[in-house]
Amino acid sequence: MSDKVLVPGEYVGPGEVYEESATTHLEGDDIYASTVGVANESEGKFRAKASKPSLKPGDIVYGSVLLVMDSFAIVVIYPPEKDGKTPAAPPEGKIPVRAMSSGFTPSTRDAVRVGDIIRAKVVKIEGEKAELTLADPNLGVIKAFCSQCREPLEKTGKGLQCKNGHRERREIANDYRAYGKIDL
């Protein structure tokens, strides 16, 4: 029998044929996929097509700001492709306000906004989340959008400004929008 590609939640097969693993889950006597993968009935195995991203302290990551609160921001980390495999789900990171810059930042909203593309460093890993920092000149926002009109913000002598004249403050990387085109 040939391999069958399955997505999370799809029926893999009976528990008598397939074994429960980190990429599957058991419901009653049946096995269901927990990630994108390939089921091989003759082997009785379900292999994940995607690998779980492995982050470690010191890694430089890119991500998009998902949520901004006064004391922290949540970032969806763009997982790098390794060995031709892309992770099934991007990991999340958290940036506490104390890690927004090397100086004092009164509120996270003074450094990042929802939708900003950032470059950050992994400080530590706590379970499924990574704690990140922007406290380095090479780290910070690398692409931002105006919170009023959603136009891209350009770096000017007076900070960041959109083509409609709105000005905003961010904790920008030293190469803000100078790294080339990025379509994230």
Question: Tens digit of pLDDT for each residue in 135-154?
Answer: 998 999 999 999 899 898 99
In this model, does residue 42 exceed pLDDT 90? Answer: no
Buried b (16+ CB within 10 A) or exposed e, 49-81: bebebebeeebebbbbbeebeeebbbbebbbee
Tokens of 104: 């004092």
| Domains of the chain, each with CATH number or no CATH | 4-48 (2.40.50.100), 60-168 (2.40.50.140)
Average pLDDT value for the chain: 81
What phi and psi values does residue 47 have, to the nearest 5 degrees?
-105, 135
What are the structure tokens assigned to 147, written together? 């919170």
Residue 177 pLDDT level (bands cut at 50, 70, 90): confident
